[in-house]
Chain A
Amino acid sequence: DVKVTQSSRYLVKRTGEKVFLECVQDMDHENMFWYRQDPGLGLRLIYFSYDVKMKEKGDIPEGYSVSREKKERFSLILESASTNQTSMYLCASPPAGLAGQETQYFGPGTRLLVL
């Protein structure tokens, strides 16, 4: 059974704190993604990784960084949290495969509140 887990369901942090969001997949997938989801804006891609130590910026990378030291783990880092980073954060991991035939598996999400 495919599984993507995220380290926290809910987090409350203060402005200026460094925040780590962890995502782990047990499917041996190369690709891993971080999205944020906001009302009226849908899911927006922050960063993704297609292999260990490889990363690419998504559509809204500002204020974020990522780390992929092991294949199964992809971390999203908020270097100095701000209130506009209050959001739902979703990790996803699709299998690398033939174009058109794959799906994406999502974690349960982390709801972050920055005060």
Chain B
Amino acid sequence: KQEVTQIPAALSVPEGENLVLNCSFTDSAIYNLQWFRQDPGKGLTSLLLIQSSQREQTSGRLNASLDKSSGRSTLYIAASQPGDSATYLCAVRPQGGGATNKLIFGTGTLLAVQP
């Protein structure tokens, strides 16, 4: 059974620091991995999607990498800002789920960027 783990559960950094969030998954048979952002009391916003054949994706100050063979992904945030404060979740789409696009989520990392 696929399990997704995120470490650390919470992280506090001063503004301007570069930081890395980690995600690991137990079964490498995935179609893709996504990183989401969730603000307090809100829904999820997709940040980056990495297909299983890709190694990384970039969007602005965000860079996500995927090492499928080792079951790991990282989300790198450059020059962090207080507006980056949120919970970051990773999710994998396991193979074999058909066309239904089911995702397995990690429990998230709560990031606080201190001004």
Contacts and interface: CB of A to CB of B under 8 A. Distances in A.
Contact of B107 (A41, A92, A100, A104): A41
Contacts of B34: 103-104
Given A31-B100, A90-B44, A106-B43, A100 B31 contact: yes
Given A48-B100, A50-B100, A103-B34, A42 B89 contact: yes
Given A50-B100, A99-B31, A100-B31, A108 B43 contact: yes
Contact of A90 (B43, B51, B52, B101): B43
A48 B99 CA distance: 12
Interface string B29-50: 0011010100001111110010
A99 B100 CA distance: 10
Contacts, number: 68
Nearest to A94: B101
B102 interface: yes
Contact of A43 (B31, B101, B105): B105
A113 interface: no
Contacts of B42: 108-109
A63 to B, nearest CB: 20
A43 B100 contact: no
Interface string B93-115: 10100011111011110000000
Contacts of B89: 42-43
Nearest to B45: A106
A9 B99 CA distance: 30
Given A42-B89, A42-B108, A109-B41, A96 B46 contact: no
B96 to A, nearest CB: 10
8 contacts: A31-B100, A42-B106, A43-B91, A45-B102, A99-B93, A101-B32, A106-B44, A108-B43
- Which 4 pairs, one residue from A and one from B, show the smallest C-beta to C-beta distance? A106-B43, A42-B107, A100-B51, A43-B105
